[in-house]
Amino acid sequence: AISPFTGDVIDLDTAKHGHSIFTYLCPGSGKEFDVLGTMEDVPSAKLISDRFDVGRNFCNKLWNAVRFALMNLEGYSYDSGCSKRLQTEDRWILSKLTGACEEVSDHLRAYNPAAAIGSAREFFWNELCDWYLEAIKPRLRDGGEDATTAQQVLATCLDQVLRLLHPFVPFITEELWGSLREFASERGIDQPLEDSELLCLARWPQPESRFRDEELEASFDRCRDLIRTLRDLRARHNVPPRQELEVRIRTSGTTAAAFQSLEGLILHLGVISSITVGPDVERTIDSAVSVSGDVEIFVPGVIDLEKEKVRLREQEKQTEGRLNGSHKKLANENFILKAAPEVVEREKAQVVELEQQLVTIRSNIEALNADS
């Protein structure tokens, strides 16, 4: 056991910088050490690693985000029939929660705490806060049964993520746990989760495989990629964040089906007035264009044609460079022989995707030149 009385404590600076700790703490060492000891104003030394800033920022995010989420639990009431009214974003976040519980538990069993907290952080920050909270805002605002269902799913996710994070940030999570119990005394979907007055005594989260839906996760990921692309287009063309856009998407197959099934969510999160999806969607001359794999995104009425030509030519050049790099890799016998088979297959798949992107980019350049 680690004990400060026996001297076998873990020193964080030593862990990072090694045992030459005096070199780190003091501006001088060796002969200069005696001189420094007689100085009234010893030059200040940096005692804490920059890496602690990452932990501090995460704790701030955790505190602020959970407190904000709790504000949206006003009037919360538990309903055992909640699962019958789950919407797409609810089923998605419960699927991601199940995956996070599995990953964190697996990493801890493998004695890999860094990977465990990484999985918990990914779920809390990048999925629950960045996407689910944004997706349910209209439902919470409008009230009714949809709001009640969203509140119950949110309370359940907060319950589970606090349990996952507790071994790593015990004091903040314990305080937030008490607040969560005040706002939502019962959490869970079909039946209440086992409760505990203290988080440190609460049961470890148990993954519920019935909520796992990898097909839905893949569809939602396509939706998120689309919204990120639209946000990039706004920034590139100086379109105000709250200005509604008309969006046209040329794609087919599972990607088109995913966009169509999540149309309402895309309209809300992307701030879109209308969306058209299909294999025969046409591009207008004044459309901003973004290409990703087999997806072409057109946003009419937002571009400067000359600037768009320059941008597309630059994108063509970058894509050609990446494609040439992939071709060189695959032409290298050492790469084929020594690389893992899945790495080689991934490189081949990238070649196909880049070739498809290049064809699309060049056709868009030709269309601009023909219309101008």
The answer as to whether 84 is a domain residue is yes
As a whole number of angstroms, the distance between CA 119 and CA 127 comes to 11
The answer as to whether 55 is a domain residue is no
Averaged pLDDT for residues 162-168: 96
Tell me, yes or no, whether 79 and 208 share the same domain.
yes
Last residue within a domain, chosen from 212, 246, 273 = 212
pLDDT tens readout for residues 280-339: 888 887 788 888 777 889 998 877 777 778 888 898 999 999 999 999 999 998 889 888
pLDDT tens readout for residues 42-98: 455 455 566 778 888 889 999 999 999 999 998 899 988 888 999 999 999 999 999
Whether the predicted pLDDT of 30 surpasses 90: no
Containing domain of residue 218, as a range? 214-303
Last residue within a domain, chosen from 260, 286, 303 = 303
Contact 209, 237 (CB under 8 A): no
Task: State residue 31's pLDDT score.
Answer: 45
Whether the predicted pLDDT of 361 surpasses 70: yes
Helix axes 253-261, 214-236, angle to 10 degrees: 80
Tell me, yes or no, whether 172 and 65 share the same domain.
yes
Higher-confidence residue of 9 and 24: namely 9
Averaged pLDDT for residues 131-148: 91
Tell me, yes or no, whether 64 and 194 share the same domain.
yes
Task: State residue 46's pLDDT score.
Answer: 53
Question: Which of 177, 206, 184, 181 has the alpha carbon at shortest distance from 62?
Answer: 177
Tell me, yes or no, whether 279 and 327 share the same domain.
no
Tell me, yes or no, whether 172 and 225 share the same domain.
no
Averaged pLDDT for residues 13-29: 48
Strand 287-292 and strand 295-300: the pairing is: antiparallel
Whether the predicted pLDDT of 244 surpasses 60: yes
Q: CA-based Rg of the chain, rounded to a whole angstrom? A: 26
Tell me, yes or no, whether 69 and 187 share the same domain.
yes
What's the mean per-residue pLDDT of the chain?
85
Contact 261, 219 (CB under 8 A): yes
Q: Report the CATH number at residue 315.
A: 1.10.287
Q: How many domains does the chain have?
A: 4
The answer as to whether 96 is a domain residue is yes
Tell me, yes or no, whether 257 and 148 share the same domain.
no
Whether the predicted pLDDT of 24 surpasses 50: no
The band of 367, judged by pLDDT with boundaries at 50, 70 and 90, is: confident
Percent of the chain with pLDDT over 70: 86
Q: Which of 204-208, 219-223, 251-255 has the lowest mean pLDDT?
A: 251-255
| Highest mean pLDDT pick, 7-21, 53-67, 155-169, 239-253 | 155-169
Task: State residue 22's pLDDT score.
Answer: 44
- φ/ψ of residue 230, rounded to 5: -65, -35
Last residue within a domain, chosen from 183, 212, 241 = 212
- Count the Cβ atoms, other than its own, within 10 Å of residue 330: 16
Tell me, yes or no, whether 259 and 326 share the same domain.
no
Tell me, yes or no, whether 200 and 162 share the same domain.
yes
Task: State residue 157's pLDDT score.
Answer: 96
The answer as to whether 5 is a domain residue is no
Q: Which of 230-234, 334-338, 360-364 has the lowest mean pLDDT?
A: 360-364
Averaged pLDDT for residues 243-260: 89
| Highest mean pLDDT pick, 132-136, 143-147, 337-341, 362-366 | 132-136
